[in-house]
């Protein structure tokens, strides 16, 4: 499996560390950002090539679609995989629901995360061909 850079916003350190480790064991390169501002800084570093953003829908500083939109200005082809404890229909904010193209609902198994990341990356690769 080829290594694909990934940026994500961990919802909390222990969970973020577990997800990072699982994705790395599955062959992905993972760039971890503690918050949306740090993710934007990472994306602006010279030579940084981000193929996928994995982010929670609801976060303390700003909700996932907001930083995703900002990152997409730097990486327009980058797909976004949202993670949420809510199903898409149960997310209270209609504007956020409309942004959620790819959603993985908690709780999920590590295998489900890795399969969904691969699925989203493969789908994005087909669109760019």
d(CA 111, CA 117) in angstroms, rounded, equals 10
Beta strand pairing call for 80-84 and 29-32: unpaired
Q: Which residue has the higher pLDDT, 69 or 116?
A: 116
Would you state the pLDDT for residue 27?
A: 92
CATH of the domain at 105: 3.40.50.2300
Looking at the DSSP bridge assignments, the partners of residue 81 are 54
Would you state the pLDDT for residue 1?
A: 44
| Nearest one of 128, 129, 126, 122 to 4, comparing CA atoms | 122
| Number of domains the chain contains | 1
Q: Which domain holds residue 81?
A: 5-128
What residue has token string 């940026």? 7
Q: What is the pLDDT of residues 30-71, one digit of tens each?
A: 988 887 888 888 889 888 888 999 988 777 666 767 888 888
Q: What is the pLDDT of residues 3-32, one digit of tens each?
A: 455 555 445 566 678 888 999 999 999 988
């Amino acid at each position: 499996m080829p290594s694909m850079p990934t940026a994500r916003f961990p919802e909390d350190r222990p969970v973020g560390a577990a997800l990072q480790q699982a994705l790395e064991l599955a062959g992905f390169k993972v760039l971890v950002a503690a918050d949306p501002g740090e993710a934007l800084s990472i994306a602006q570093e010279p030579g940084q090539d981000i193929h996928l953003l994995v982010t929670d829908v609801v976060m303390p500083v700003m909700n996932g679609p907001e930083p995703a939109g900002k990152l997409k200005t730097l990486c327009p082809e980058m797909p976004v995989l949202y993670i949420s404890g809510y199903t898409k229909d149960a997310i209270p904010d209609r504007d956020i629901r409309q942004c959620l193209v790819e959603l993985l609902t908690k709780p999920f198994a590590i295998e489900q995360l890795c399969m969904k990341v691969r699925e989203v990356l493969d789908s994005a690769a087909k669109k760019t061909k």
